[in-house]
Chain A
């Protein structure tokens, strides 16, 4: 199950990740065991693929995505709903996955950053706009910014610059890439809906 949830992305070119799996491939072998809380069977979809698992109701959606499904594009920045780095879509709406008990998403559809680009690797226009506007630096908040930006446009909250700034304020960026993020969302919103003005 964990293998199929990640859509294949392009191979890293300039940025090999240091052979993560290679380096740790043969480190120990014992299986992790779940602690004994009352477990709840939970079924949902992630990026269109069905997932069914026994969950400890304490587990956050964020930790389930990252640690059990291997979807590490979604980031942990505060674990308390104060930064937005863990933003994903639940039935098409943006939420913070750190404050969502994973059992709550039973029957729902989760979309993570790994599910935004097309299966062939073609980027979503907003992802392209993030690159074109250099709307990122360290990149750690970026998946959350993209998920939030997509939702901002879909909600109709990208009408002008002030509205975009306000509706993206739930996603902190310590590198301070806000100007680029604003430009990327504005540009993409205008491509989607020509009525959106300059702000």
Chain B
């Protein structure tokens, strides 16, 4: 039996039959809409609800919950569950524009929306600081503000002195904008009660946090909460935690005795969820005359909110991209008047790689060296930070193979030296990327039935990356069962704790647990690990209808008890530094840009990306994931920027029209290669992460290509038409 080559849930998706959180319909649903703050900061003095309440069909208008009924969920990165610690609607404080001030529930969406629009409020307005350098923004040293080992500044040797002593030195400061995840599926779903059990249908990457967080907020027994999220319509970090609408909806639903559907308007998703924070990055890089990199300094100021400290981890990859003996990182956090920023695909790495890989390219040009050759010459043998070996590292192979696929040998070195017949400037750029290979605890419950069907429930969320397909492939190959006989439950707290699926650890985490369950099943069926299995016959021979096993796995070096933390819905992953080794995924991107001679539109007709993600668990979905990462990289390099008007706060271009994610016509050829070498030190299935590394370095490769085309370096993203006129 060969494993499936197609995405196993594709049929459901092309027929519209896949059910997302808000796809539940039932005649007794009520509908909810939030009215939101129009000011950037201050206090709400009075909320005028009479007009809203008078709208026919309106069931309730809630402006304030008792804090004892609706507590703080705690902050995801502070042993909590929420994208931020702040729970709206429990006091009069307004921390950012777009914060909810009232919840309207009505029989119909039309009535709820009409009523929400009629809500007016009086405010006491306070001055706001929404930019890194705004008056009133407060800058903190991260390692002093959050004294945790993994957030300490990375210091190896004396990089400052080594930089000063370097014969070739480049220093540059980069400004990176706020960006938003903008998954296609709007935040929301259906919240209701079945007896005294709270049932939430919502697209999420972290059903465990929804359960744990609601238990904490509402004082419920977690066993009386079910989170059901079989499909998430894109997450990209936005849906990695409990969001502040769910608790109020649960309370309103209990009061009404009806389930409530809530679909957050697109503009509100820009304000009621996280975003990629703004950052300013100073990079100093020193080299000798042969091109050996001697010292690197990488200092980052990153935006956070007033109420939470969203940590910064930019130097985690830049300290390891090359074998640089002397490195000094520094992270500072800048408190501003926004909702708490958070994770967006390659949250720090995308920005860090843009800054660092731009400077690496500049070093190559300062020395007259080929940018690929310089990178190859500076590959690392061991983790420069810990001195440990890497579990696997094939960055050099990515660079070599990528250069070959791209035809890099045909490149002429001089900027501006490649032109089309019409004067179009052509640039070819390269950049490396890396992303930590983390793993989280997981539980897999596997049931083999006498009819030959195999059912598995495991930690993991399907948000398009193809985790379900990877799981089916593993089981199908191992047990020689047809793909259609494998039934997978993910994103469902009824079958497993449902730890956060993010940070590119999802597939490795789930597969490791399923792999362990398969080993247990074989023991129960008395089949050696390498022997073929006839599930139907062997289960039937036991005389039972099913043979059930449950396996729990953790990351290398984690104590088994960590699973209890995961069962509580708390973030429990480990990596990239494990006892005895360090694990990262690696990638090399090669990009071609073409810049029009007159109106200067920048196009990216082709990209080649070669990835070292360990074993490729699901080839078809993996290619799609990398292509998607490249599309994100193109968007990040040339299009996306969340605009802020310092007078009003919030985000000004909070629509899918004004926040320009790439369209089909923006995307050319994207060729993907895999090293496909299993990393068996990291886990027995040999899988490292893929989703985020695929984006890391794309913006740098494009910016380096723009330099190659024009001779001009760019220190800000996105690079737009006015930057190259």
Contacts and interface: CB of A to CB of B under 8 A. Distances in A.
- Whether both chains belong to one complex is answered with yes
Nearest 10 interchain pairs by C-beta: A73-B16, A176-B631, A138-B464, A140-B233, A139-B13, A137-B464, A176-B628, A35-B57, A113-B16, A72-B23
A97 interface: no
A27 B628 CA distance: 39
A37 B57 CA distance: 10
Given A23-B226, A35-B106, A131 B6 contact: yes
B183 A134 contact: no
Interface stretch (B40-48, B188-196, B299-307): B188-196
Interface residues of A, number: 86
Interface in A141-173: 141-143, 146, 162, 164-166, 168-173
A63 B109 contact: yes
Given A27-B192, A165-B664, A58 B234 contact: no
A43 interface: no
Nearest to A176: B631
A177 B109 contact: no
Interface string A33-47: 111110000000000
B28 A172 contact: no
7 contacts: A14-B487, A19-B228, A72-B23, A74-B16, A83-B656, A139-B464, A179-B670
Interface size class of B (residues with CB under 8 A): 35 or more
Given A32-B30, A35-B57, A142-B13, A174 B230 contact: no
Contact of B19 (A20, A127, A175, A181): A20
B344 to A, nearest CB: 11
Interface string A107-133: 000001110110000010001001110
B22 A76 contact: yes
B463 A28 contact: no
A82 B232 contact: no
Contact of A59 (B14, B110, B624): B110
A27 B197 CA distance: 10
A151 B579 CA distance: 56
Contacts of B620: 134
Contacts of B108: 32, 34-35, 56
Interface of A: 9-10, 12-21, 23-37, 56, 58-59, 63, 66-67, 70-80, 82-83, 85, 112-114, 116-117, 123, 127, 130-132, 134, 136-143, 146, 162, 164-166, 168-182
Contact of B630 (A28, A165, A176): A176
B6 A73 contact: no
Interface string B64-95: 00000000000000000000000000000000
B7 A136 contact: yes
Contact of A70 (B25, B230, B665): B25
A116 B7 contact: no
Given A18-B491, A35-B108, A79-B265, 12 more contacts: A18-B19, A20-B201, A23-B194, A32-B28, A35-B55, A58-B110, A66-B23, A78-B266, A134-B621, A138-B463, A164-B664, A172-B656
